[in-house]
A and B are shown apart, each in its own frame.
Chain A
Amino acid sequence: MHRILAITFAALALAFASAQTLTVWVWDINKPALESTIDSFQSMHPGVEVIVEDIGNQNAYDRGLAGCAAGGFGMPDVYLVENNEAEVFWAQFPDCFIDLRDLGASELLPLFPAFKWAELTAGEAIHAIPYDSGPTAIFYRRDLYEQAGIDVNAIETWGDFIAAGQAMNAATDGAVKMGTVAKGADDEWFRMLANQADCFYFDDDASQVTVAQSGCVLALETLKDLYDADVLAVGGWVEQIQLIQNSAAASAFFGSWYGGVIQAEAPDQSGMWGVYLTPALESGGVRASNLGGSALAIPASTAHPELAYDFVVNALANEENQLRILFDYGLTPSLLSLLDSPALDQGVEYFGDQAVWSLILGTLGDVPAVAGTAFFQEAREVMIGVVNTYLDGGFASAQAALDQAARQISQATGLPIAD
């Protein structure tokens, strides 16, 4: 009996040792999206198992940094990194991720836009492969807008959006709001609006603090107008989803990937949603900006670098996989060859058969590029507080709020404030 047990254990141990498994850390909608590429990957590498784990966005960052600090201990084989946070890894742990040129990534360079590579390369080294982008748009409930008598074609500026919100408030007695702002929990609205005005925490080579410049002031004033007009509900990530599920939010302003989140979280609202372009800050202004977007990197601690690389390339540089990820999961591809694809003109059932992807991807060229910085988290922490205080009326003006933010960011990062 004991012998049989021993043999069984030995066989099991052998099986585990020889079975090749790739572990992938992701968050939210990326799990089913990347899982949908496993079949095509396994047709190249039969017998290799792929486990995609949803560990949450902030947690992925926290555990990634902790893993890199521990010399790669406990890291997965493939790691999803958000573009604007990527620079921290390259700066603090240059050896934590494989330089993908060693695996042939140089030939991928022309396949993706330069602005995506900017945050994923350090010097000559390529640390990650571009995955999705986050061109912003307004996702809206057709039925709720119609009930309130709102015509989306008439919404060209944020001022028009506020007017529409007042109509919504009147029609629903304030029960339905035009969007959800993560007041005090994140500064996403500020960043999206500032990006429209070509303003960011730092300048293009991340050497000066530019958050107090005029574009950012205009963005913050616009946010205050929206908040004061009482057209936005207040809530973080989870609360926004609850509001959508309960039809208490008639629209959402986010990067294009949020369409996939809505589809996954509110499947019963299929056909009720639609998309229109981000309103301009001023009449005739830019109706595009970007929030988020991510990339796949391969930790240097992986036992299977070639397999991991093949998985990444198959998922991200394969048109068929990227089109499916776009249409089934709403993640906007960075693959340039897809931008002219006639497939983008297809209507999407969830969005009332609107051809939302050609609409959203059509804005990519208008998105002002933003440089990466290793100080993203510091600046964001400061801005979350300052935006919150400003919305609560704690500063005399947006300029005063941003001057204060610039001083704090400068103190935390050591970078000078731009004139």
Chain B
Amino acid sequence: MTTTPLRPRRPRLRLAPYLFLTPFLAAFAVFWVWPIGYSLFLSFVNTRTRPWRFDPGFNWGRLVNDSAFWDAFGNTMLILALQVPLMLALAVALAMAFDSDLLRLKGFYRFAFFAPLVLGAVPYSAVFRLIFNADFGVLNYGLGALGLPTVRWLFESTPALVTIMIALTWRWTGYNAIILLSGLQSIPRALYEAARIDGASAWQQFWGITLPLLRPVLLFTFVLSTIGTLQLFTEPWLITNTGPGGATETLVTYLYKQGFRSFNFGYASAIAYAVAITAALFSILQIRLVGGRDNG
């Protein structure tokens, strides 16, 4: 009896998938892995003046005691606590209106509320600056015409923060409403019919059917908005210029100033890691609180 020896399998074939992946992996390594690693290293380096020195506690120690950082942190958290829930509540209402059988021209309205996102951030910010201009802006003109007191929107602390929240809400509510609409449309109509037959009011249907079944999509928009708020840069940078006096400074505008105005990359890296850690903690918390029961 002769046995034919097993041919060794050609290992070269196994390389192929990796070769196909190489362009992506190379880009991923150069533009993601390396900066992430290097900025972690930089956060332990004193880069305030040349030459740079390795000093692990320097930037992190400053972060803990830096009142400007904590002010920026507080502003960001305030926007997160007030603007995000308000915007998502509005977005749910808007999504239900989009979904309503009573509404005509649905396509038009869906586009109209999504449109703010199509507009570039710079022209949109410039227009908001004009609208909120204290002396010649249309908003103060309207307030004055109604006999209400006018406000120096961009040059007083609380109004400036309110301006940012209004701008964010204007820009992102429609976007979130469209996402929530997809969630609404996946809720079986039969549930509502059954509820109606059982005599449930519209309000009861909303609390008993719509909201629970919308939860996964709502969680998704919540996490997205949270991360977006933690990375908030455009509006405070272009509309209020982080002012007045840092009243609309956010974590990322502060990071930018440290990195690219003062050229203190080490401290900017520490701030970046603080933002990333905060974002991760929030995401875990939200998924635990809101989404956990789905899996259980």
Alpha-carbon separation in the docked complex, A377 to B256 (Å) = 13
In the complex, chain B residues whose CB is within 8 Å of the CB of A384: 243, 245-246
Contact with B along A223-265 (1 / 0, CB 8 A): 0000000000111101100110010100000000000000000
Task: Find the A residue at minimum CB distance from B257.
Answer: A381
Contact of B62 with A by CB under 8 A: yes
Q: Tally inter-chain residue pairs, CB-CB below 8 A.
A: 91
Known: A91-B50, A235-B135, A381-B68. A184 touches B263 (CB 8 A): no
Q: Which of A167-197 contact B (CB under 8 A)?
A: 183-185
Contact A62 B50 (CB under 8 A): no
Nearest CB of A to B154, in Å = 8
Nearest CB of A to B115, in Å = 26
Contact A386 B245 (CB under 8 A): yes
Contact B66 A185 (CB under 8 A): no
Contact with B along A59-70 (1 / 0, CB 8 A): 001100110010
Task: Find the A residue at minimum CB distance from B247.
Answer: A184
Alpha-carbon separation in the docked complex, A375 to B241 (Å) = 20
Task: Find the B residue at minimum CB distance from A92.
Answer: B263
Contact A239 B134 (CB under 8 A): yes
Alpha-carbon separation in the docked complex, A44 to B135 (Å) = 50
Alpha-carbon separation in the docked complex, A183 to B247 (Å) = 12
Alpha-carbon separation in the docked complex, A233 to B257 (Å) = 28
Nearest CB of A to B152, in Å = 6
In the complex, chain B residues whose CB is within 8 Å of the CB of A234: 134, 152, 155
Contact A385 B262 (CB under 8 A): no
Contact with B along A387-419 (1 / 0, CB 8 A): 111001000000000000000100111100000
Task: Find the A residue at minimum CB distance from B129.
Answer: A238
Alpha-carbon separation in the docked complex, A113 to B22 (Å) = 60
The 8 Å CB contact of B241, one of A92, A236, A389, is: A236
How many residues of chain A are within 8 Å of chain B by beta carbon? 39
Nearest CB of A to B163, in Å = 13
Alpha-carbon separation in the docked complex, A69 to B265 (Å) = 11
Known: A185-B244, A385-B245. A392 touches B135 (CB 8 A): no
Interface residues on B, range: 20 to 34
Contact of A382 with B by CB under 8 A: yes
Nearest CB of A to B134, in Å = 7
Contact of B39 with A by CB under 8 A: no
Task: Find the A residue at minimum CB distance from B241.
Answer: A185
In the complex, chain B residues whose CB is within 8 Å of the CB of A69: 263
In the complex, chain A residues whose CB is within 8 Å of the CB of B129: 238
Alpha-carbon separation in the docked complex, A92 to B259 (Å) = 12
In the complex, chain A residues whose CB is within 8 Å of the CB of B135: 233, 235, 239, 242-243, 246, 248
Contact A92 B246 (CB under 8 A): no
Nearest CB of B to A416, in Å = 15
Nearest CB of A to B268, in Å = 12
Contact B136 A242 (CB under 8 A): yes
Alpha-carbon separation in the docked complex, A5 to B67 (Å) = 64
Known: A65-B263, A385-B68. A184 touches B136 (CB 8 A): no
Contact A65 B68 (CB under 8 A): no
In the complex, chain A residues whose CB is within 8 Å of the CB of B263: 65, 69, 88, 92
Residues of A within 8 A of B (CB): 61-62, 65-66, 69, 88, 91-92, 183-185, 233-236, 238-239, 242-243, 246, 248, 374-375, 377-378, 381-382, 384-389, 392, 408, 411-414
What are 17 A-to-B residue pairs whose CB atoms are below 8 Å?
A62-B261, A69-B263, A88-B262, A88-B263, A92-B263, A183-B244, A184-B243, A238-B129, A239-B133, A242-B136, A377-B261, A381-B68, A384-B243, A388-B243, A388-B244, A388-B247, A411-B62
Residues of B within 8 A of A (CB): 48-50, 62, 65-68, 71, 129, 133-136, 152, 154-157, 160, 241, 243-247, 257, 260-263
